Each structure stands twice: as C-alpha cells, then as structure tokens.
Chains A and B, each alone.
Chain A
Amino acid sequence: MERWVVVTIVTAGYLALSLLVGWISGRKASDTVTGYVAGDRGFGLLVMYFVTSAMMFSAFAFLGTPGWAYSRGGAAFYVLSYGLLGFAPWYFLGPMVARVGRAYGYVTQGELLSGRFQSTTLSVLIAVVSIIAFIPYIALQMKGAGIVFNAVTDGHVPIWLGALAAYGVVMLYVLKSGVLGVGWTNTFQGIFMLVIAWALGLWLPSHLYGGIGPMFERIAELRPELLTAPGLDASGAPWGWGAYSSAIIVSAIGVTMWPHLFMKGFAAKDDNTIKLTMVLYPTFLLFLLPLYFIAFAGVLFETKPPSADFILPHMILSTNIAPVVVGLFCAGALAASMSTGDAMLHAAASVYVQDMHRKVFDRKMSDHGRKRLIQVVAVIVGIAAYYIAVNTEMSLVALLLAAYGAVVQLAPITAAAFFWKRATARGAVAGLVLGSLVTLFLYQFPEYRPFGLHEGIVGLAVNCAALVAVSLASKPMAVEHVSSFLRTSRTET
C-alpha cells in the first residue's frame, strides 16, 4: 500500500475515535445553557487537567514551538517560563471565579465582569474583543490542520479537505455535546499528543545523534548561540533581553485571560478541583520538553524545511519512518489543532450569545432559546473561520496579535473586580479601551516603543493608570453590591 493511503487511514481512524468520544460524552448534560457552556459545573480533575493544558497546547505549540526553537533557539524557552508564571495566579483566582459563577449563575468572563461592574458596555466590549480574537485564531488552527494533512499525504489530500474533515468532526461534537464534548475529546487528544510527542522526542535525537546529550554536545560545538536565552529574533540576529523578558511578563499576565480558558473556571466541580489542577499543571510543561528535543534535532539536520514551522513534519517525512508512524504524527498534530479549535469555537458562540445578543438584541430570551442560538452561532463562526482559512492568503497573525493585545488588557480589570472595592464601570471601560488602543498603536509603530519593551507592557501600564484615575474620579458603586460580590468570592464552599 502507498504511504499516503496508510497515513490517511490512520488519521481517519483517529478522527472517528475523536467523534465517538465527543459524541457520547455529552449524553448526560442537562438541556440548559449551564449544561452546554459550563458542563453543569461538574468537571472533575482528569478533564480539568486536560482542558487547561491541551488548550495551551495548540497547533501553535505542536508546530510553532519546535519552529521557534529550531530557528530562534533559546528564545523558545520563554514558553516554559510564561506557561508556569501565567497559570500560578489561577490557583488563587480560579476558585474565586468558580464561587461567584455558582452564586450568580455566570458562565462567561463577560458576565462576571459586567455583573461586578453593572455595565452592559463592558459586556459588549469584551464580547467584541473576544470574537475578533477568536475567528482568526480558529482559522489558523484549521489551516494548520489542513497543511499538515496535505504535507504528510504528499499532497493527495488538499488543504481544504483536510481542514474540512478535522473541523467537520469538531463541529459535530461541539453541537451535540457542548463543553462536555470539548472536555472529553481534549482529554483523549491530550493523552494522544503526549504519547506521540514523547515517542518522537526521544526517538529522533537518538536515531540522528545517538541520544539527547550527544545531540546538545554537537549543537554546543557548531551553533552555541542557540542554546541560551534570549536566543535569536525572527531575522536571525541576537534577540534583546528587554524584548525576551517583557514577552514573558505580558504572556504570563494575559494567558488566563483568554475567554475559552477563563470560562473553564465555571465548569469545575469544586474549588479543590481547580486547585489540584493547578498543582498538577506544571507536569504538562515537562511534557513539552520533547518538542524542544525534536526542534533541536532539526538544527543540524542535513536538509532544510520550506519554513521553520515545518521542521517537525519535514524531519518525519525525510527519515524513512514507517507510514503508520507518519499517520500517528499527523493525527497528533490534528489533535493539537482540534483541542484548541473546539474550545474556541464553543467559547466564541457562548460569548456572543451570553454577553452581547442577550444584552443588546433580545433581553427576554429563554434559557433553552439561548442554548439553541449558541449552537447556531457556533455553526456560523465555524463557517466564517473556514472561509477565511481556505480563501485568504494574507497573514492572519497580525490580526490575531492585535486582538490578543486587547485580551491581555482584561487582566487589570479582572484583578480589580476581585481585589479593589473602589473600581467602577467607567474606570474598567476606560482602562480596557485606552490600554488596547496604546497596545495597537505600538504594535503598528514599533519605533515608539520605550526601550524595545513589548507593546502589551506599555498598554498594561496605561490601562492600570486609567483604571485607577477614572475609578477614583467617578461615583463609587453601591457598597452592598460590591461587598456581597467580594464576600461570595471569598467564602469557601
């Protein structure tokens, strides 16, 4: 049998299994918004662990991290640092989010913040920012899936078909099972990715160099500049410490502000589940190590991939490996893409309905009606992202980064919601808007960045200043409302 046929069969088998897991996992969920968006607040430790970590571990991590380590060396260590620093606060914040969620019935980040600040404007702003950030991100994940599928089948499966197959499956289980489908498929996909990553991460270095140690010894002789931080920048020149350090800080502050991650706080069964997830979460970062080994194995590889992100498929296709293994690799890459894409698709639809549609267009919508509408919107978002993924050649990364800049700006408002009584709606809106605009401006005009710092850091500083100044200048919020919110967040259950 030809290689591409075997690869396609293995990958199709993986897709069928994903569909099966996703389809049956939702059968116990209640037919409500809480059931569909927050899994009836019943996620246990296993699912929480994989939901949190597999979402981090997107197509970007599976292909992008090796690409970074391959082309930029130690610059890629920043992923390990911010992954750890970013999630640590969630140990303390996550249970607070879950408590107010249970008490007030919140299932999205926008609901929580607009509930605390009693502001529809804030809710709509958050919804708009989230959706602008999500659609290009989902499109990127789809494109990633299509490209990998296309490469490993030697071009026999076109990009549009690969993306359609992977995301057709995603769409089916998201529609049927909601967040439970996302959670359980992420668990299956997460375990699958880990096995593939470790198998390849240990096998490639030993096959090519006789082990991980000997491989790094060789690199230390020939390309020592790749083995230490801050590594190289995108053009191959040495990267600055300022940029490296501020990238870590901004990413660490921003990572848990992604709505699809934040929302999973509402799905946890109890406080202990969130805390234990965070205790165990660093183990997942250790699981990322083989991706670095793979990337460094590519540094001295005799041929070069078409682009840095392709180092992993490139090595696999040119080392004469068994076709079944190539198929498993392809399935692993699809798993990475799908475990992020499904959560985003589901979150984008939920955020639109809960934070925007319900508050602006139809205030009297029934719970059941909203659940139905979320499903409809998920289909629309999926089609829009698919259209962008297949039809546009322009780089989506710019749009994505711009939107991510705005997502990071939610951090000071979230902190103020829980820790600063005097914070007001006007302060929150002012901080979010000004912080995002400054970030966007410095992203477009890098020459104005002070000391080469990451644009997000400057945005955060402006955001905090505006939040404090405008809050103090505006009328304080009703004391009873704020105190009961804060008390709820601190009462252990």
Chain B
Amino acid sequence: MICDQALKCHLRQAVFGVRCSKFTCNIMKNRLVPTLAVAFYLAMAFFVTYPGYVPFDRIRPFVLGMPFAMFWQVLWIIASIFVLTGVYRWEKRRSAARRSETRGG
C-alpha cells in the first residue's frame, strides 16, 4: 500500500474503480480541502459569468426584497465565508496534529 489512508483508498477504488496512486493519495490526504476550495471558486467564476449566470439572472422570485440576480451574488458571498472558514479550521487542525506528532516522536 503506497497510501496510509487505507480507508479512503478502498473507498476510491469502490466508488470510481481507480486504484490509488502516490499522486492521488497526496491530494486526498494533504490537499483535499484546499482543492475543494479552489473548485468552489472556479465554480463561482462559471456561475457569475456567461453562460453559468444566465439561468439565475432573473428578476423573480424576489428574495429578501432583492431581485433574484442580485440575491444570487449575495448567496456566493455568504457561501464563500463558509468555504474559507472551513479551510481555515482544517489547516488549524492539521498543523495542531503535526505539532503533537513531532513532539511525541
């Protein structure tokens, strides 16, 4: 086994039928959360410009008094706060785990 994340590797093989490589393992273990955050912003870039914005670029329904096209922008702003909070907390936990590892070892 290249990867020490045995469970995730097996899951990956079960779901996608792809075996774990060193590269994918590294992503799963160390970069998964930041990668998801980058994916979120790429998705946002798609959904606030052409053509992703088009289906949501409408006046009705009004939400909180705002036309939907404007509310759509607000929604991404609020989602962004949650995404970066998630990344921040994940990084905190990871560096705390690393510190205790080095201290113990």
Contact = CB atoms under 8 A, between A and B. Distances in A.
Interface of A: 74, 77, 80-81, 84-85, 88, 91-92, 211-213, 215-217, 220, 224, 227-229, 241-242, 244-245, 248-249, 252, 275-276, 278-280, 282-283, 285-286, 289, 292, 492
Nearest to B49: A245
Nearest to A280: B81
Which of B41, B44, B49 has most chain A Cβ within 10 Å? B49
Contact of B70 (A213, A252, A279, A292): A292
A228 B67 contact: yes
A248 B73 CA distance: 13
Interface string B10-50: 00000000000000000000000010010001001100111
6 contacts: A80-B73, A217-B62, A227-B67, A241-B50, A279-B85, A282-B77
A106 to B, nearest CB: 24
B62 A282 contact: no
Interface string B62-88: 101111011001101110110011011
Nearest to B45: A85
Contacts of B58: 228
B14 to A, nearest CB: 32
A212 B67 CA distance: 10
B49 A220 contact: no
A88 B41 CA distance: 8
A249 B69 contact: no
A279 B88 contact: yes
A283 B84 CA distance: 12
Contacts of B67: 216, 220, 227-228
Contacts of B66: 212, 216
Contact of B74 (A227, A252, A279, A286): A286
Nearest to B87: A91
Interface residues of B, number: 34
Which of A88, A213, A215, A286 has most chain B Cβ within 10 Å? A88
Where chain A touches its partner, the secondary structure class is helix
B59 interface: yes
B80 to A, nearest CB: 5
Contact of A276 (B57, B73, B74, B88): B88
A280 B66 CA distance: 23
A276 B91 CA distance: 12
Given A85-B45, A245-B49, 16 more contacts: A77-B73, A81-B48, A81-B76, A85-B48, A88-B41, A91-B84, A212-B64, A220-B59, A227-B59, A227-B67, A229-B57, A241-B51, A244-B50, A245-B50, A248-B45, A279-B85
B62 A216 contact: yes
Contacts of B48: 81, 85, 248
Nearest to B50: A241
Contacts of B51: 241
B95 to A, nearest CB: 7
A124 to B, nearest CB: 34
Nearest to B79: A282
B72 to A, nearest CB: 9
B45 A212 contact: no
Given A279-B84, A292-B70, A85 B41 contact: yes
Nearest to B81: A282
A396 to B, nearest CB: 29
B77 A77 contact: no
Given A91-B87, A244-B49, A249-B49, A227 B73 contact: no
Contacts of A289: 74
Nearest to A220: B59
Given A92-B34, A229-B53, A286 B70 contact: no
A100 to B, nearest CB: 19
Contact of A285 (B44, B57, B77, B85): B77
